Chains A and B, each alone.
Chain A
Amino acid sequence: MRIRGVVASAVALWALALSLSVRALPGTVAIPQPPAEAPAAAQPTLTNTDCFDCHDDDSAARADGRSVTVKPAAVEQSIHASMDCVDCHQDLATAELPHAETLKKVDCAGCHGDADELFKVSAHAKARADGSLVAASCVDCHGTHDIRPKTDPESKTHHLNVAATCAACHGNAEIIAKGHMPRDMTQAFADSIHGRVLNKSGLMVAPTCSNCHGAHDIRPPKDPESRVGMGNVASTCGTCHEGIARQFKGGVHAAVLETGATNAPACQTCHTSHSVQRSESRGWQLSVINQCGTCHAERMSTFRDTFHGQVSTLGSRSAAGCADCHGAHEILPATDPRSPIAPANLVATCGKCHENANANFVKFDPHANKHDRARNPALYYTSKFMIVLLFGVFAAFGLHTVLWLGKEARLKRERRGKPAAR
């Protein structure tokens, strides 16, 4: 149904749907009731039979040819089966048939007021208020006459169908362009560990779009109240990954985020938002090193100078990466006695790989900087000596070689030239 095209009002929260999935809201399951007592007086109220007399017909259409067929079966299988057509299309309750082509918007909020309250703060509602013709309203996610409860596997809002429902717009290049929407992340999600577990394994515990973004009140990530904003994302991921979230909240990165600053990493900074991969994968473990390096540039470049870094750069996980020494979620400074890089813990930390590590061994500097005289004086002078040695040898012998080459080339030319000249 292309209903969006006719939506124009900036404040309209109307919808054609007969109901919103109020069960999406915990503890607010409401049995849909006809909004008001139908005025029993005046004209007789239209019955569903009256409606289907015309709308059951496959050829029922508007003047411009657009179909207005509504199959009774669709309505009967929907969650609103027990309701009458005019409960939603209230303006037709006492209409004379045939009724006008243009109807009033169906107001889902009449029954689903709490869902509507949430929807009002969403990015979708704001975009509609700003005049977007493509931003989702109730019907885009829930359907119209055929709305089923989200427990029904056929429902557009069933856990395993949500991603496809969102992708109808967020995976459609045309709609993305029209709505100035974020880039298409549906394929990235489908390929992610979350998407694969959801689609391939069919696990109901795997998160779909709404688990992270919410359902009615989806806010843009920059909104401080967004579930996926820098400040809240750890709690959002923590609804499933509770143990990890607890670790993260004990670390330095979370401490920075708690101050309201956004220059510290939250979950998605390292794991990405939609392309989350298994953390066991070699590719991910290697790429996350660069992620640490986006902020800790000097630390990363000195890491790359060491054996650990060289091996990692070549695509092997046989040497330590950042997290192997610093931890992953609960990163703490060396000054914190709980940190794996606290002096007292170094032998144990290095000992994870270097079984026989001892107090001497851990004096190795895994971030040695040969250009930093204060930090690594011996290394600094050694490196300078090596540069002089290399430069000296290559300069001296380079010159020697060039002179020798010139001499022998001249001799050769002369020898070749002489007999011909005579």
Chain B
Amino acid sequence: MAYKTIVEDNIDILVAGAGLGGCGAAWEARYWGQNKKIVIAEKANIDRSGAVAQGLYAINCYMGTRFGENNPEDHVRYARIDLMGIVREDLLFDMARHVDSAVHQFEEWGLPIMRNPKTGAYQREGRWQIMIHGESYKPIVAEAAKKSADKVYNRICVTHLLMDESKENRVAGAVGFNVRTGDYHVFKSKTVIVGAGGASNIYKPRSVGEGAGRVWYAPWSSGSAYGLLIGAGAKMTQMENRIVLARFKDGYGPVGAYFLHLKTYTQNCLGEEYESKWWPQLQEMVGKEYLDPEASHRTHRPIPTCLRNHALISEVNAGRGPIHMVTMEAFQDPHLEEIGWHNFLGMTVGQAVLWAATDVDPKYENPELTTSEPYVMGSHATGCGAWCSGPEDVSPPEYFWGYNRMTTVEGLFGAGDAVGGTPHAFSSGSFTEGRLAAKAACKYIDDGKAEGIVVSQQQLEERRKEIYKPLEHYRIYRNEITAGSVNPNYINPRQALDRLQKLMDEYAGGVTVNYMTNEKLLQIGLKKMKILEEDLEKIGAENIHELLRAWEVKHRHLTSEAVMQHTLFRKETRWPGYYYRGDALKVDDKNWHVLTVSRRDPTTGEYTMEKAPCYHIVDTAEESAA
């Protein structure tokens, strides 16, 4: 094929994926590496890419330490209980102690952050959330990244990481293709920071047809954070910890501001409060340590997100759906009504479109809620991602191997969704993780750890061949049939995605089986997943756009297999409301108060699973030091 090969050589820091995490990495790298070569490879256009492309109406991770509001350890405790005890507290503490500096810089750059007129502090939506006019959140942050980077390559789909051939398990850059020109792009780099995204669209969505695009997480979040890292043999953690969201029905509009700021609440079809009646039964499943409604009433301690999902799911299954969000009270206040609408326009316009289309005026009608299909990501109320080193002054020995946010592959770092065990980072925390990874990557280079990297022509040629194989495959077999999409030799990317979604839904606890799975189902699912992998070798792409979709589904497949392996390994139901292991329906702290860690051998595809200890931050004195 006539596609050119374009080589960008001598890169110090390659940022693969420039959402909030990648932008933070590129921005900060310039400070610690003023003479270093920093290059960004982004699948879309950096001005509107990643999960924040559409904007945000809140920054969900801000300590307010400056205003005396919270200390980092408070945030650790919050994320810990929300995730049923299983998180990487070293990474959380580290992110939390830096995140405010990112947020204040956003304001300096022009991001409109609302202020509380009485206190002068940022306007709180809840304890951790602050309210912003964030339609241009991403373009503003992208300006900063562009200012720091030597080069920004837009529209590059990064498919693989390059590996050093002189030293085992060391990264050497990345390869991919330009989704417009089709050209093959080679980035030879001393370090790579993966800022790519988590995964939408790996589970069959509730919507059908056109509405399949109305996913909660962006449809372009193709699990590349995991596809790239797993493909390079990096260890992953907590991949079973997928998330299910309780959201406005069909539009998946956010509920955070509604609950926290507008003080709306939920009820069943009879107009009753329903959550509390599910607590006693649920408490038997998870134990009082994780569900203590009285303690939650008295203190700021939240009831974990998954458990609130469980109540909603159970109430609907008991025949008392739909669940409604009671907006009719709050929306009588014109100011709150306006906030309710702005909230959607700032981050989920589709929900506003849906209410306009269905004449739902929340002032006179309480809208319906539902639980979504599951998503795999690492920066919301879930912590999927790579097993990364923490900072040296916080991390215990099992969590530390030299460089903050470095994966188990040398020179390969992560930020945002790519880093595992760090839920509740959200936009600002992901940006902060990028900054931390960038500083560490500069140190890694300055310490001489990236000397003598060798990438052979053979490695580049093999990857090139692999990348274009779907186009070649299509070309060879297309004319065996008259017309149409049914061909005995290949499936197209959409067909592959449909199969993946059905498989994940039915065997790994999707929405049509009420999030239920078990060992037998997962074993069958994994077998089918292997066969899908064989068929993905025979995927056909008609053009460059389909080639993009082909590689996206390959990344989604690697992600999904990891989800299944981890779900099979953890023999308990740690997060009821996210998923259920029907053969182990209780939380089992005796055996499973641990982080799950996996590695997929890049040559054989074999998985090895292990448990890693879960460390908790505890107060040395009785009272927390301020």
Tell whether A and B belong to one assembly: no
